[in-house]
Chain A
Amino acid sequence: GQNIDQPTEMTATEGAIVQINCTYQTSGFNGLFWYQQHAGEAPTFLSYNVLDGLEEKGRFSSFLSRSKGYSYLLLKELQMKDSASYLCAVRDGDYKLSFGAGTTVTVRA
């Protein structure tokens, strides 16, 4: 089975930085994804990591350590519109995605 853990909730101030951690234990590994989901909407793709290291994309960065089964999503210069759920998902050996329960980030003024 798959086991993907991430914090349930995080709160931060506008302009600040927030780091969302994700740990995983899966049968096989073919990449880790982060998705953003605003309330009542569909998830949208943010980032993909398959090799160890940091991937930077504007204000968002994602890090992966395969040996530790660990990833984080870093959100910099937080804006009110970043208030959303952030979903960590691992693609397993059969190329199917397993999702964590999601982390709800609330940005306060």
Chain B
Amino acid sequence: IAGITQAPTSQILAAGRRMTLRCTQDMRHNAMYWYRQDLGLGLRLIHYSNTAGTTGKGEVPDGYSVSRANTDDFPLTLASAVPSQTSVYFCASSDEPGQGSNEQFFGPGTRLTVL
């Protein structure tokens, strides 16, 4: 693995189903993030984690949950998918938040369609 990976690449899901989007990074970054990107709205933060064992809510957390059991993995779960969750989901990671530039590195994204 090099950088940050996401799975699946794309998914079509029936409304009401449970879905987990996977994200793994091998850069030993402390902080990880989940965003959704919708046309005309830009990237919006769903949940974040500043270090393993801690998580926090972003701008649009409703309907989503996350866990951070270790440094590398940060899965995003939709407990009961709804059509408004149709979007492109990006996972990102960065070194210590607030230190220097510490830009976020983004995964390739997951395109999710909820019917």
Give the docked Cα–Cα distance between A95 and B97 (Å): 6
On whether the beta carbons of A101 and B98 are closer than 8 Å, the reply is: no
> B42 within 8 Å of A by Cβ?
yes
Would A30 and B42 be within 8 Å (CB), given that A42-B108, A45-B104 are in contact? no
Give the docked Cα–Cα distance between A55 and B40 (Å): 28
Chain B residue contacts of A95, Cβ below 8 A: 97-98
On whether the beta carbons of B48 and A45 are closer than 8 Å, the reply is: no
Chain B residue contacts of A99, Cβ below 8 A: 35, 42-44
**How many residues in B have their beta carbons less than 8 Å from beta carbons of A?**
22
Chain A residue contacts of B98, Cβ below 8 A: 30, 91, 95
> What is the distance, in angstroms, from A21's C-beta to the closest C-beta of chain B?
16
On whether the beta carbons of B106 and A96 are closer than 8 Å, the reply is: no
On whether the beta carbons of A96 and B45 are closer than 8 Å, the reply is: yes
> What is the distance, in angstroms, from B105's C-beta to the closest C-beta of chain A?
7
Q: How large is the interface on A (under 10, 10 to 19, 20 to 34, 35 or more residues)?
A: 20 to 34
On whether the beta carbons of A33 and B58 are closer than 8 Å, the reply is: no
Nearest chain A residue, comparing its CB with the CB of B3: A42
> What is the distance, in angstroms, from B5's C-beta to the closest C-beta of chain A?
11
On whether the beta carbons of B40 and A97 are closer than 8 Å, the reply is: no
Would A96 and B58 be within 8 Å (CB), given that A42-B90, A102-B42 are in contact? yes
Chain B residue contacts of A60, Cβ below 8 A: none
Give the docked Cα–Cα distance between A2 and B101 (Å): 20
Chain B residue contacts of A41, Cβ below 8 A: 108-109
On whether the beta carbons of B43 and A87 are closer than 8 Å, the reply is: yes
> B26 within 8 Å of A by Cβ?
no
Give the docked Cα–Cα distance between A33 and B104 (Å): 10
Chain A CB within 10 Å — which of B43, B59, B97, B101 has the most? Answer: B43
On whether the beta carbons of B42 and A87 are closer than 8 Å, the reply is: yes
> A69 within 8 Å of B by Cβ?
no
Q: A91-109 toward B: CB 8 Å interface, digit per residue (1/0)? A: 1000111111110000000
B residues touching A (Cβ–Cβ < 8 Å)? 33, 35, 40-45, 48, 58-59, 90, 97-98, 101, 103-109
